Amino acid sequence: MRPTTISAFLCLLCGAAALLGVTVVADDPYRFLTWTVTYGTAYPLGVPQQVILINKQFPGPSLDCVTNDNIVLNVVNLLDEPFLLTWNGIKQRKNSWQDGVLGTNCPIPPSGNYTYNFQPKDQIGTFTYFPSTAMHRAAGGYGPLNVRQRSVIPVPYDPPSGEFSLLIGDWYKAGHKSLRQTLDSGKPLPFPDGLLINGIPQSFSFSGDEGKTYLFRVSNVGLSLSFNFRIQGHKMKLVEIEGSHTIQNIYDSIDIHVGQSISVLVTLDQPSKDYYILASSRFTQTVLTAAAILHYKDSKSPVSGQIPSAPLFSGDWSMIQARTFKWNLTANAARPNPQGSYKYGNVTISKSLNFASSAPVINGKQRYAVNGVSFVVPDTPLKLADNFNIPGVFTFDSIPSVLTNGPAILGTPVLRTNLHDFVEIVFQNSENMLHSWHLDGYDFWVVGYGEGQWTSSYRNDYNLVDAVARHTIQVYPNGWSAILVSLDNQGMWNVRSAMWGRQYLGQQFYFRVWTQVKSYANEYDIPTNALLCGKATGLVRP
């Protein structure tokens, strides 16, 4: 066969793979997928609601891949509004163009499509995807994103007999457009109407064989509420948090906050019957609970017995538990080297940043802010404006990097940082509710939690040895959380509240991680298929 014929055959093979959604075998295989986004009707809380479907599924399909796979995913938007998906916890190495938030990407217009092309580079673990536009997240469109290890990289536990993804979060009977109107009118979101497990509040069943061990991947895909997760009569061995293998402590129940994911091993070592799987809201006066079923395959007995209660309304209990989450320094990372090979505690901090959340009223409407600046999303993505040198879209360094006491203002701030800065970030919470913060493009070491106002003396208590690395961090009521992060991923990256109503009303900003050295070793060029909108409409890609 001639070389030109071989090339044509390979192109035909890849095209067929794209249509069939199968893997092309190579050093870093390609996975071609097409997802069609539509509205549909579901009954999450017993009443008919308009939900967002992906390939006719609610929740959406599981995106399962292997470390370094090339994901080529064509999203077709058949909604009546612009739409984007973001890949929660995927670092998008050198490739913030694929991050799928309004600061980096133009939304996909109705009846339009966009093909994401990205790698879960050097990652293993439990992640999710969800809509980043408007309040679409309140209507569904989310799903599990599981990145498995390559065959040459062992994980620190025996292969389970099976695994289950549990997408748990709060839910409203009101539609996403109604919730958006509430926020646009200057009012906060009301208290949710219920909790869901994989799209329903009760009776979802997970089946396994007596005596065998299963991996449960549990993610908080809600809008605002933390929950406590537990399984009646069973212990849970924590093995992974958001891409980091952990010391394998045993827990009766675990608190999981908005945007976070964990993996636990559960052995079916009880008498053969059915057992409750429970999630209950935390830090709320009204407690919402969702229940699923752990079904032993030869069981003939329905669930019975005492339902395990959630821990008391206590931030202290939750904070103490969070401090027990430790990085497994000897476990392999996605590359063939231990997770603890990078001694983060010995690196000199090049910059310290303090960010305080607040809930100001601006121009008579409820807003949320970071250090007194409430973010306004422009029509032109910040990444496009930066790439094309378009003025007037955002302002550099217009958000203070220390706490301020002045009145809150509206703005579109981008905080400049240098590539390879090693940064300390302290999130301060002066409100009587728990907050949850997410950083795109990175994971970070969670080195400390505390009550009250953070001071530099708390650095003496930081965990500088085996703090777990993750992408979303909770900040307890009237408390603080401290992280360390190596800014080694060039791009424009979103720092936001994971609590979506707060994000929507301004509790977010962007890091621009930059170097003057132009190199593909640092960042890829703008994609040839990048959508152009706002002030970038009609421009020619360089």
pLDDT digits (tens, 9 = 90+) for 65-87: 999 999 999 999 999 999 999 99
Residue range 189-195: mean pLDDT, rounded: 98
pLDDT for position 542 = 67
What is the C-alpha to C-alpha distance for residues 105 and 531, in angstroms, rounded to an integer?
Answer: 7
pLDDT for position 347 = 98
Residue range 395-401: mean pLDDT, rounded: 94
Residue 311 lies in a domain: no
Cis peptide before 59 (omega within 30 of 0): yes
Q: Which residues, 6+ apart, have CB-to-CB distance to 251 below 8 Å?
A: 235, 236, 237, 238, 264, 321
pLDDT for position 9 = 36
Classify residue 452 as exposed, middle or buried by CB count within 10 Å of its CB (0-12, 13-18, 19+): exposed
Structure tokens at 223: 């809008």
Boundaries of domain holding 375: 344-529
Residue 193 lies in a domain: no
Confidence of residue 42 (pLDDT cuts 50, 70, 90): very high
pLDDT for position 14 = 45
Mapping DSSP to helix (H, G, I), strand (E, B) and coil, where does residue 249 land? coil
Each residue's pLDDT tens digit, 79-110: 999 999 999 999 999 999 999 999 999 999 99
Residue 40 lies in a domain: no
pLDDT for residue 141 is more than 50: yes
For position 397, which CATH number holds?
2.60.40.420
Helices (H) and strands (E) in the chain — how many of each?
Answer: 5, 37
What is the C-alpha to C-alpha distance for residues 144 and 148, in angstroms, rounded to an integer?
Answer: 13
Mapping DSSP to helix (H, G, I), strand (E, B) and coil, where does residue 458 land? helix
**In the sheet where 227-231 sits, what is the strand order?**
202-208, 289-296, 274-281, 227-231, 253-256
Q: What does the DSSP assignment read for 64-121?
A: EEETT-EEEEEEEE-SSS-B-EEEET---TT-GGGS-STTT-PPBPTT-EEEEEE--T
Number of domains in the chain: 1
Residue 382 lies in a domain: yes
Residue 359 lies in a domain: yes
pLDDT for residue 475 is more than 70: yes
Residue 348 lies in a domain: yes
The number of CA neighbours under 13 Å toward the Cβ of 334 is 17
Residue range 428-446: mean pLDDT, rounded: 97
Residue 125 lies in a domain: no
% residues pLDDT > 90 (the chain): 90
Residue range 346-364: mean pLDDT, rounded: 97
| Higher-scoring residue by pLDDT: 405, 135 | 135
Mean pLDDT (the chain) is 94
Please tell me what DSSP assigns to residue 459: G
Each residue's pLDDT tens digit, 410-419: 999 999 999 9
Confidence of residue 11 (pLDDT cuts 50, 70, 90): very low
Residue range 392-409: mean pLDDT, rounded: 91
CB neighbours of residue 366 within 10 Å: 18
Residue 32 lies in a domain: no
pLDDT for residue 21 is more than 50: no
